Homo-oligomer: A and B are copies of this chain.
Amino acid sequence: MADAYLADTLDPRTIVMTVRQDVHSAGIPVLCQSCEARHRGICGALDPDQLVGLAKTSSKHTVEPGSELMGDAETVDSYSNVLSGVVKLTKSLSDGRQQIVALQFAPDFLGRPFKVESVINAEAATAVSLCSFPRASVERMMRESPDLEHRLLKQTLNELDDARDWMVTLGRKTAAEKVASFLLMIARNIDPTLDPNTNPTSFELPLTRADIADFLGLTIETVSRQLTRLRTDGVIRIDNNRHVTVDSLARLASRSGA
């Protein structure tokens, strides 16, 4: 039996796509053991024929940072569930200015059905593990399974809400509010069960200062200065540049511009 890859944890800034090889022996629940718990609808909707197809095309890809995972069907012909880690979706202007337009956390679905012209790059921001499916199988599944499409619609609507919320941040908030909003957003996504009254809270920042700047429409220096200000004001503590402790989420929220 072939080696079974699943949920490998990889070096940051590299996305490796893995598909479990032993689909035949294990059946649907084993195909995607990790995401089965969270993506029952997406993984569970595969039928045996599709699993055979998956087994044939499964392979371990390594994709260089910055290369397109989405928006270019030829590059990487697959859809994935994010099992752990953070994937950043970016768009760039011709002169190199970049904007991160979304962060994908587990258990988000990564891929753009019904491809359109829009070019988005997907890049691993941290160590990322993915469970991938061939594009063709997913698209067939979608045609055959209204339930899958329903789940996808719900995720897409949520992503649309997130995007529009972030538009307010980009268009109307000050640098200080942007950075506070960012920290809150990360805290909530890293631990979705987070109770706003649980203090203190701490987490690892999944992004570099440069990434944060690209997400907030700021420069590295401004991000750094605002983080310093939050630190000297006693709102947060930062250890090793990445580990953030928030004493009072409410205090942070009050600086986020509501």
Is B157 a contact of A114 with CB atoms below 8 Å? yes
The smallest beta-carbon distance between A197 and chain B, in angstroms, is 18
Which residues of A in the span 122-177 have a Cβ within 8 Å of any Cβ on B? 146, 149-150, 152-154, 156-161, 163-168, 170-173
Is A171 a contact of B216 with CB atoms below 8 Å? yes
Is B171 a contact of A170 with CB atoms below 8 Å? yes
Closest Cβ neighbor of A97 among chain B residues: B172
Is A163 a contact of B157 with CB atoms below 8 Å? no
The smallest beta-carbon distance between A200 and chain B, in angstroms, is 25
Closest Cβ neighbor of A90 among chain B residues: B168
- Of the four ranges (under 10, 10 to 19, 20 to 34, 35 or more), the interface on chain A belongs to 35 or more
Copy total for this chain: 2
Residues of B within 8 A of A93 (CB): 168, 172-173, 257-258
A21 at the interface (CB under 8 A from B): no
Closest Cβ neighbor of A161 among chain B residues: B118
Is B164 a contact of A118 with CB atoms below 8 Å? yes
Closest Cβ neighbor of A157 among chain B residues: B156
A101 at the interface (CB under 8 A from B): yes
A212 to B84, CA, bound (A): 40
A112 at the interface (CB under 8 A from B): yes
Residues of B within 8 A of A149 (CB): 146, 149-150, 153
Which one of B112, B114, B158, B166 lies within 8 Å of A116 (CB-CB)?
Answer: B158
Residues of B within 8 A of A118 (CB): 161, 164-165
Is B166 a contact of A167 with CB atoms below 8 Å? yes
Is A99 a contact of B172 with CB atoms below 8 Å? yes
Interface 1/0 per residue, A94-106 and B, CB below 8 Å? 1101110110000
Which one of B114, B157, B166, B167 lies within 8 Å of A113 (CB-CB)?
Answer: B157
List 17 interface pairs A-B (beta carbons < 8 Å), by A numbering: A91-B167, A94-B257, A97-B257, A98-B172, A99-B168, A101-B167, A102-B164, A112-B157, A113-B157, A114-B157, A116-B157, A116-B161, A118-B165, A156-B160, A160-B160, A163-B163, A170-B217
